[in-house]
Amino acid sequence: MCFFILSLGPMLQIYGHGIFLLPYQPLYHLPLIGAFRVPSRFDIMLTLCLAIIAGYQIKLFLSKFSLKKRFILTSIFSAFIIFEYAAFPYPLDPWPSSRLAHDIKPAFKGPSKGSILFIPFGDCGQYGAATLMYFQTIFNRPMLGGYISRTPPWLVNYYENAPIIGTIKKLARGNQVSKERIIKDRELIEEMIRLYNIQYIVGIKEFLNESLIEYCTTIFSQHVISCKKLDDILIICPLRPIPPSKGLRIDFSKYASKLYIIKGLTDGLVSEKHIKLAQKKGSFLILPPLGKGSHKLILKMKSFTDKGEINIFLNKEKVLQRKLSKGNLVFEFKPSENLAQKHNFLELKYKNVPSLKKSDYQNNFIYCPDKKALPLSFIFLEITSNLPSLPQP
């Protein structure tokens, strides 16, 4: 009875009209039960309980008959159960076709395992994550947004705000974007291809609107080698390879920085100037593969407190630990591993750093509505490379 009531949801509804609130309404806000997300998940436990009750009742009913009649009645009950759960013909999604899956593999031949950018991106348009997961089994390559579980909220937020990907998502939904943003995206296209190691762009023709086609033509035209149509469904465009970066500078006050900020930074104002502030749970950045050779990373921040400490990790290896002091902070370190082989992740963890309170920082004119913000601002990150010299002829 408990699972039955919970499966009805937060309100009893009859013919679409709410009658009165049910116990699920207050329970939904509890941490554990709230994770179920939808009341219909309680149907699983309800069905299990009903199956046990039905089994006991059938056993009691059959005990009144002889062995031969029990066998006949059991066979009848079993046939009814099979008929109840049978699906003839079994429902299958006819798109994309098996022929399309057969034709896709030759289009992705090559030793490189570069990633694929789908357009529209992610769950935009009329197809969702299930389609992307199906394609993942065919392509056998990394796919941007091709996750096998729910995309975490912080990653959804990253995709929405990131240059180029965020623009693609907006255009796919029919929203307008400014010409200034398109110009900035075009300046960042090489860095994006390098960052995600994109080797192919795959467009789903059915879901490409005019604005999206015009934008992609403007952004990717100089990097596309050719385009091939498959079954009038997919458009596959291999891209020219982008050489490794010799260095990188991220100015956190610029639009381009959103390409590298995965999570843990929030917008703020100091003396009416836009800044990026750290968040309590830490900050996470993605860096592209770099050219072979030794590298030096320089991170400049500004601290408005002298309490707490900061720990910096590069690819999960701790590279620096320092106590905070008020004023500008410059962190320099050399990684112990080669940054050319894979994506690089820079993580910052904060310990005993007080929260940003308006009353404590009025003299600095800091404003940030985010309650998770810390009195630490990011200024720039610079990576310099000491590339090996070429042999003299």
Output the pLDDT for position 392: 38
Specify the 3-state DSSP secondary structure of 306: coil
Quickly count helices (H) and strands (E) in the chain.
11, 18
- Could you tell me if 191 and 244 are in contact, meaning their C-beta atoms sit under 8 angstroms apart? no
Name residue, tokens 């395992």: 113
- Could you tell me if 172 and 120 are in contact, meaning their C-beta atoms sit under 8 angstroms apart? yes
pLDDT tens track for 145-192: 776 667 788 888 999 999 999 999 899 888 889 999 999 999 999 999
Structural tokens at position 153: 């909220």
Output the pLDDT for position 379: 94
- Could you tell me if 296 and 384 are in contact, meaning their C-beta atoms sit under 8 angstroms apart? yes
Based on the number of CB atoms within 10 Å of its own CB, is 46 exposed (0-12), middle (13-18) or buried (19 or more)? middle
Which residues are CB-neighbours of 156 under 8 A, at least 6 positions away?
none
Q: What is the dihedral of CA 85, 91, 92, 95, to 10 degrees?
A: -150
Q: Of the candidates 289, 303, 292, 290, which has an alpha carbon nearest to the alpha carbon of residue 348? A: 303
- Model's pTM, two decimal places? 0.74
Output the pLDDT for position 389: 42
Q: Of the candidates 169, 218, 211, which has an alpha carbon nearest to the alpha carbon of residue 189? A: 218
Pairing of strands 373-386, 273-279: antiparallel
**DSSP 8-state secondary structure symbol assigned to residue 341:** S
Output the pLDDT for position 100: 60
Output the pLDDT for position 341: 63
393 residues of the chain, pLDDT tens digit each: 888 887 887 788 888 777 888 877 777 777 776 666 677 778 888 889 988 998 899 889 898 888 889 899 999 988 988 888 887 776 665 555 555 666 676 777 666 678 888 888 865 545 556 666 667 777 777 888 776 667 788 888 999 999 999 999 899 888 889 999 999 999 999 999 988 888 888 887 777 888 888 999 899 988 888 888 776 677 888 888 888 777 889 999 999 999 999 999 999 888 778 889 999 999 999 988 776 777 888 999 999 888 999 999 988 888 899 999 999 999 998 876 666 566 789 999 999 998 876 545 555 667 888 888 998 999 999 988 765 443 333
Tell me the domains of the chain and their CATH numbers. 2-85 (no CATH), 98-238 (no CATH), 247-386 (2.60.120.200)
